[in-house]
Amino acid sequence: MRYRFVPIAAAAALGAVLTAPAAAADPPAPPGATEAAEHLAALIVAEEGSMTGYSRQKFPHWTTVSGTCNTRETVLKRDGENVRTDAQCAAVEGEWTSPYDGARWTKASDLDIDHMVPLAQAWRSGADRWTTERRRRFANDLDSSQLWTVTDNVNQAKGDKDPARWKPPLTSFYCTYARSWIDVKHRYGLTVDQAEKDALGELLRTC
């Protein structure tokens, strides 16, 4: 059974220093459907590049945000309900709902922080020419809808696929998924291939 609460008393017995619970929040909202369609039309269409030279280490993450909290821990706190953390900023209690599949979790270990536009996908779409600093900002971007708390095995099924090859199981998320994907590609000047662009257009029609 993967659903489990960590009682406050039990955490305290283990020496955890707990913060006050935090209310759930969403990642920064992407532009609406009309603006997203305009951004999609403006994206450069090009065949994806190769994976030559790619490494996740070329996108440094998770970096420190504040104190002992890194990007992953910050997103877990942002996206969860009643999240409590220990002195190392690790989430020891909370509730999270994955927007990709609607599943609800009470253990942070059951969750991944997904890059809306995966790192390898970005590499094939132009990030191979970026500086390491720009790739670091992309991989830790808290100012756009790039980072999402999602069910780990759903994220693993997504891998580095674009919307022509993978869509969230929850169809009610299609609109937000497309708007977020387009926003990230637009912000960072990344290309799309034709199948990807067509799929994004179909997803936008669900808005």
pTM above 0.95, yes or no: no
- Is residue 112 scored above 60 in pLDDT? yes
User: Distance of CA 5 to CAs 13, 40, 77, 107, 112, Å?
Assistant: 15, 42, 16, 7, 18
Q: Which residue has the tokens 């199948």?
A: 195
Q: How far from the centroid of its chain's Cα atoms is residue 151's Cα?
A: 11
Q: State which amino acid sits at residue 63.
A: T
* Of 207, 200, 156, nearest in space to 182 by CA: 200
Annotated domain spans of the chain: 8-204
Per-residue pLDDT tens for 88-98? Answer: 999 999 999 99
* Of 200, 3, 191, 179, nearest in space to 97 by CA: 3
Token pair listed for 24: 């759930």
Burial degree of 139 (CB within 10 A; 0-12, 13-18, 19+): buried
- Is residue 10 scored above 90 in pLDDT? no
Question: Average pLDDT for residues 102-111, to the nearest whole number?
Answer: 97
